[in-house]
Every structure is written in C-alpha cells, then in structure tokens.
Amino acid sequence: MARPAAAAGIVRRRSGAWRRLLRGLYARPSSALGATLAAAFLLLALLGPWVTPYGPLDQDFAARSQPPSPAHPFGTDHLGRDVLSRVVAGDRDIFLLAGSGTLVAVLVGTLVGLAASYRGGWVEEVTYRVFDSLLAIPALLLALLLLGSLGPSRVSVLAVIAVAYTPIVARVVRSVVLDTKTKEYVLAARMQGESTAFVLGREVLPSVLPALAVESALRFSYAIFLVASLGFLGVGVQPPNPDWGLMVSEARDYVYLTPWTLTFPALAISLLVIAVNLLADGLKRVLQVGDTP
C-alpha cells in the first residue's frame, strides 16, 4: 500500500524526491542496471535516425544476407536491409507505440478511477462492472479481437493497449482511493468546502502516485511484450515496418541462412523487457508499494 508520507514528499519537494528516487534505484545493482538500460534504449529511440548508418527500409541488393561486419555491425537481411538500423528504428517505434498506449491507459485509468471510486454509488458500480467484464477477456485475446475488427495498423495497436490496460490502472487507483478517501485530511478538505477536483487532485492523487508509478512501469513492460507479440503473430504492425516482433517472425524463415536477423531483434526485445521489469521492481522497492495479485 502507498505511504502517504512518501507520496506527499514527491509533490511538495519535487527535486529532492527525484534525487532520492534515483539514489534508491541506484542503491541496488539490479535496479541500477534496469534504469541504465532503459535510459539507454530511450536515448537510442530519441536519437534514432541521427545515429543509424542507413534507413530502416533502405535496401542494398549488392549486400544481401551479409553476416555482421564493420559496414553492417548487425549484418543485413535477405532484402539487403541493415539490421542495426532496423533494430534502432524498431526501438523508436516500440517506445512510440507501447509508450503512448501506456500513457493513454494511465491517464484515462487514473481519471476514471479517481472520479468513479471517489464518487462511489452506481457510477462506481457501473464503471467497474464494465472494467471487470473487459478484464474477463484475457489481454491478448481482447487485443486480437479488436485488431480483427479494426484491422492491423499502428493506431489500432495503440488503441488496443489503451483499452486493455485502462481497467487495470483504474483498479489499482481504486484500491488506493478506497483507503484514502476516509482519511482525516481528505475529510478535512471536504469540510472546508474544497471542490471535488481540488480534493482529488491535491489530497487524493498524491497518495495514489507511488502505486501508479510502479503500475505504469509494469504496464509499459507488458505493452512492449504485447506489441512484440502482436507483431510476431502478424496482426500488429505490418511489414515493411521495423517492428521487433515482426522482424523475429520474418527472420524465422531464414534462421539457417541469416541467424543474425533473428538474434538481434530478439535480443533487443529481451533486454528492453528485462530492463523495464527490473526498473519496475526497483520502483516498487523504493516507493514501498506492495505486491498485489
């Protein structure tokens, strides 16, 4: 559960809290590794096009299926595309898709969760009934159903992440709000006649933040997982886009000929997922958020 004291610290003394958060993360090798790796992937995603030697779709027919070499550090695929450039472009892609999908889910989930569980009554009942029935459909199944009718595109993938993860975020928010809304400081604010928006934003939200931060990191790691899986299944991002899952699935046909086209994107997914998982675990420890099933 959230510790209101720690949460209040985050809001009141922002810079100090950030420094403490970072120090906490770097106090252990595992979360330090996670944070560093995740930051490196993010940096690479931001710098993407300026650091890669070739474009992700550029084909060089003279250099097809080349093993790793100084000119192509990760080799080239059967169409003569530079694997390193594609992996970096895929990094940018996955941060864009998984990141913005998670962001939408966290924003909507927080707003709806705060409002519905603070207000209570039938609004809460109906909201969480709908969310529960969404959660009764396993995430990947829901994703496939939505993609089946929306058709595969990047926008649908983004929408799928948002729809699949909003209820989960809302549920986490609710578990904290139900505990917080009966606290004296919240009641005091209400007694003073503060508006609901003020009470929610200034008094309730801070206590939700630690759990929300951990959940966001976790959701982001699952979103990466989901985007890659959908790409692999051929229903997510479509060729010739440099999606990591898609690259792995395409490379399967050439695994004997050009194993490096499979290894590097697979390695990239693995490292990023591990990094974000370690980061989420570190956040959980530093912010003292408990395990919830």
Partner 1 sequence: MARFLLRRAGFLLLTLVFTSLLIFLITQALPGDVARILLGREASAQALAQLRAQLGLDRPLPIQYLTWLGDFVRGDWGTSFSTGQPVRELVLSRLGNSLQLAGLTLLIAVPTAVGLGVLAALYEESWIDTVISLASLSVVGLPEFITGLVLIQVFSFRLGWLPANSSIAPGTGLVAALPYLVLPALTATLVLLAYVARLTRASVLVELGRPYVRTAVLKGVPWRRVVIAHVLRNALLPTITVIAISFGWLISGLIVVENVFNYPGLGRLLTFAIARRDIPLLQAVALVAVLGFALANLVADILYAVFNPRITLR
Residue 144 interacts with partner 1 (CB under 8 A): yes or no: yes
- State which of positions 78-117 bind partner 1 (CB under 8 A): none
> For partner 1, which residue of 141, 155, 188, 197 counts as binding (CB under 8 A)?
141
| Minimum CB–partner distance for residue 260 and partner 1 (Å) | 14
Q: Is 184 or 291 the residue whose CB approaches partner 1 more closely?
A: 291
CA angle 168–174–177, rounded 5-degree value: 150
| Minimum CB–partner distance for residue 194 and partner 1 (Å) | 36
> For partner 1, which residue of 78, 80, 273, 288 counts as binding (CB under 8 A)?
273
Site string for partner 1, 234-253 (x = CB under 8 A): xx---------x--xx--x-
Residue 278 interacts with partner 1 (CB under 8 A): yes or no: yes
> For partner 1, which residue of 108, 140, 175, 238 counts as binding (CB under 8 A)?
140
Residue 258 interacts with partner 1 (CB under 8 A): yes or no: no
Q: Is 213 or 289 the residue whose CB approaches partner 1 more closely?
A: 289
Amino acid at 170: A
# binding residues, partner 1 (CB under 8 A): 45
> For partner 1, which residue of 69, 195, 196, 270 counts as binding (CB under 8 A)?
270
* Chain residues in the site for partner 1 (CB under 8 A): 30, 129-130, 132-141, 144-151, 221, 225, 228-229, 232-235, 245, 248-249, 252, 262, 266, 269-270, 273-274, 277-278, 281, 290-291, 293
